[in-house]
Amino acid sequence: MPKSGWYLLVPAAFFFILNLSLAGTVPAVVLAAGHFTLLVLLFLFFRTVELNRVLPLVVATVSGLLFVYGILQKTLLFPRYLEWIQEGTDEFSRTIAIRIQSGRIFAIFTLPTLYAIVCAVLIIYILHFLIRKNGMARLGWAMLLLAGVINLLLTQSFGGVIYLAAGTLAYLFFCGILTPRVLAPALMAIFLFLFVITGLRFSEAQRLDPARLRLSNWQQATRLVTQNPWFGIGLGNYASEVSTVTQPNEARSIYAHNALLQEVAETGLLFNLFLIMLLWRYRRRLRPVSVRLSAPHLAVLVVLAIYNLIDIGVYFFAAGFLLIIALSQVYRRHTAPATRLLLPILPLAAMLLATAISRDALQEGRILFSRQQSPQAADAFSTSLKWNPWNAAAHLGAAQVHMLNHHLDAAANAASRALEIQPGAPYGHFLLSHVRLDQERFQDALYHAERAVQRRPDHVPYARWKQSLEAIFNHEKTDGSN
């Protein structure tokens, strides 16, 4: 294999253009491609950096901040959030309110399950340093370990127990200290965590909700793969397409809850065959560090492998970054740091940061709109669009504000712009249908109502709205004939 990798730009460009042509949402392809490209570049960069020297300081700092914030979120912030969010006026706000009422902490992350995997990874590293330290340092690591376990329990994540159990046992195995004497208390602690989580979420555990959700989502992802086996539906477009294959009796999610299934559904079998061939040839350059020296990193890889099997794993940047850190140290390359890679890394990181800021402003705008604070909501949506002009949800939020203020032309323009970015968005068609009705453009209103039902046939409000428009349209035709 040639030392230079420039020749790979040809197939990479081909698959990128192919995904752009297939995707219903082009910006999603660009963002997803930037996300995965950044992860690959970070792996190549961190391979050349000795992280083990700074890892204790980084783990202690990040763990301390996250774990303290997680406990404060549960005890102080959740009650204040519930007072601030006006439940019942907006679907997004109701979702946030229900999540907060469940008591499942998520710290600075978007989901409790994502925070659970972060906690599990940090706990493994903390356990590693705890075993190897003495004196007051060991006491400090023990306090961090206790805080980490408390945070993991407060996420109320069944997956969190699985991650921690698998990671702990894998770490003890790789260290060579997994004896019956150690195994017994480890299993007792694991089952204790499982019983506590089951008690906290007994009704869901009794109905097997987590298992049912994943089985349904795996079936939906499989249908997308069988419909578009070779080329997929376009990278990053799973969320916008999965509703077309979701049956009424199935659990609904915008994720496949399996990273590999979602990736195959998006990119197709042809790209994955090329990727397997590339990795097969590249493996010769990967020389792993000894098992004993890389035991905590290997345990983290075991945890993240499980996470990618029961969730979308590397699609979340936090999980992908943890994977890159562990993988880069397992396959450490003893050379000077590859600082030249910072040139493409920095703009990609800036792009993803801008997207994250846009998403945060969007959420703020949704909550403000639900509290009937329209001017502030409009400012938040405008801020979101400044950071990411292709944020379709922010355009729809702006359209809602314009509708409330009876600015129908502005509302129509905003909703139309959202549909240009994401043509299959059912709520975009639903909202534009309302605008067209207020503009007395009945045929356009009915068209967009039909499109909304086509994308979400099981959504009752869309179906009822379409029926209402059909009744109005038929009444107009009857009056016209008379």
482 has a pLDDT exceeding 60: no
- Burial code (b: 16+ CB inside 10 Å, e: under 16) for 49-74 equals beeeeebbeebbeebeebbeebbebb
Provide the pLDDT for residue 301: 96
> Checking phi first, is residue 318 left (phi over 0); if not, alpha (psi -120 to 50) or beta?
alpha
Provide the pLDDT for residue 147: 96
In terms of pTM, does the model score above 0.85? yes
Query: Which of 314, 317, 294, 295 lies closest to 304 in space, CA to CA?
Result: 314
* Rounded distance between C-alpha atoms, residue 186 and residue 228, angstroms: 45
DSSP 60-100: HHHHHHHHHHHHHIIIIIHHHHHHHS-TTS-HHHHHHHHHH
* Rounded distance between C-alpha atoms, residue 401 and residue 396, angstroms: 9
Provide the pLDDT for residue 307: 96
Q: Which of the listed ranges 302-306, 363-367, 461-465 does the model predict with the highest average pLDDT? A: 302-306
Between 103-107, 301-305, 411-415, the lowest mean confidence (pLDDT) is in 103-107
Comma-separated ranges of CATH 1.25.40.10 domains in the chain: 354-481
Provide the pLDDT for residue 12: 73
Taking only the tens place, the pLDDT of each residue in 381-412 is: 999 999 999 999 999 999 999 999 999 999 99
Across 140-154, average pLDDT: 94
369 has a pLDDT exceeding 80: yes
CATH number of 354-481: 1.25.40.10
Tell me the average pLDDT of the chain: 87
Across 82-108, average pLDDT: 72
24 has a pLDDT exceeding 90: no
User: Residue 2: pLDDT band by 50, 70, 90 thresholds?
Assistant: very low
Taking only the tens place, the pLDDT of each residue in 220-234 is: 999 999 999 999 898
Taking only the tens place, the pLDDT of each residue in 271-315 is: 998 888 888 877 777 777 777 789 999 999 999 999 999 999 999
Looking at per-residue confidence, does 473 or 149 come out higher?
149
pLDDT cut 70: percent of the chain above it: 90
87 has a pLDDT exceeding 60: no
Provide the pLDDT for residue 1: 41
Looking at per-residue confidence, does 482 or 48 come out higher?
48
